[in-house]
Amino acid sequence: MSAIPVDSKCVLEVRNLSLSLDQQTLVDDISFSLYEGERVCLIGASGSGKSLTARAINGTLAPYIKVSGEVLVNGDSVAQQPVLARRAQARAATVFQDTYSALNPLMSVGKQLSLSTNIQSRDELLALLKQMQLKDAESLLSRLPSELSGGQRQRLCIAFALLSGANLLVADEPTTALDVLSQQQVIKVLRQCCDDHVCAHSEHLHGSPLSLLFITHDISVAAQLCDRAIVMQDGKIVEQGPLQTLLSQPKHPYTQRLVQAAHRVHVDTCLPQQKAVNA
């Protein structure tokens, strides 16, 4: 990971955040920060509290979840605020694993795009789709979301999310439901968005680069995109640091198991090829 410049702006600060339901603690006193332009992954097994943490950040927690601690987005304290109660600069753009949750299933892609952007020109809409590496953009504009592949829909969701002008993107398992090639396309688009995106239309965030919180249970996917990792287990952060360091010298037993499992999957995947070469 490149060192964070001293004068970097803190885009997200999660401070002693706990989330509970009745007497059960689901997220337990976690703290971490994200600086502008950083790509950080929140990684952990199913049920470790990643999505709940994402919901506390983007303001979509169920109202019956008890929140304590602080979440600051661009300096605004938002832990207790649902998304619609937040100032524009404190709203994080979000993409989810379930792409249908962000798209109107009954409206063509072109209509949805032009309603959310106020862009009426077909050429500008086509340019937007091309930025998302969506080929065949002409035909995509007239299709319904169900007439796109999962990978195309996810790239469209990323475009929609970034149109909000937010400087923080929370991507909650955006590649989990996709095949390997579609995963690669989504990662490529996310990487490109982080490299190119500056908030042009937001008065408060003007010129601010995009920061990414990438939520996943797959450390090998995270390694293709992120510089830093925060590892969660059973609602707690057990380790955090540069991703390359975690991969080469994992300290916590859970991180060690995660890295070993990723190596095993890699070796298993390579085995048939090896046999074929040796045959």
Ligand X SMILES: Nc1ncnc2c1ncn2[C@@H]1O[C@H](COP(=O)(O)OP(=O)(O)OP(=O)(O)O)[C@@H](O)[C@H]1O
Residues 6+ apart with CB under 8 A from 168: 11, 12, 34, 57, 73, 74, 92, 93, 210, 211, 212, 213
**Residue placing its CB nearer to ligand X in the complex, 44 or 145:** 44
Residues 6+ apart with CB under 8 A from 33: 10, 12, 13, 14
**Residue placing its CB nearer to ligand X in the complex, 27 or 158:** 27
Q: How far is the CB of 98 from ligand X (least distance, A)?
A: 11
Residues 6+ apart with CB under 8 A from 182: 149, 150, 151, 154, 175
Q: How far is the CB of 257 from ligand X (least distance, A)?
A: 16
Q: How far is the CB of 229 from ligand X (least distance, A)?
A: 14
**Which residue from 70, 50, 45 is spatially nearest to 252, judged by alpha carbons?**
45
**Residue placing its CB nearer to ligand X in the complex, 51 or 175:** 51
- The residues of the shown chain that bind ligand X, judged by CB under 6 A, are 21, 26, 44, 46-52, 62, 217
According to DSSP, the residues that pair with 18 across neighbouring strands are 68
Q: For residues 130 and 134, what is the distance between their CA atoms, to the nearest angstrom?
A: 5
Q: How far is the CB of 81 from ligand X (least distance, A)?
A: 18
**Residue placing its CB nearer to ligand X in the complex, 51 or 167:** 51
**Residue placing its CB nearer to ligand X in the complex, 235 or 250:** 235
Pairing mode of beta strands 10-21, 24-35:
antiparallel
**Residue placing its CB nearer to ligand X in the complex, 92 or 128:** 92
Q: How far is the CB of 46 from ligand X (least distance, A)?
A: 3
Q: In this structure, what token pair is assigned to residue 150? A: 């999962």
Residue 198 DSSP class: B
Q: How far is the CB of 139 from ligand X (least distance, A)?
A: 33
According to DSSP, the residues that pair with 84 across neighbouring strands are none
Alpha helix positions (H), the chain: 50-58, 109-117, 122-131, 137-141, 150-163, 180-196, 219-223, 243-248, 253-278
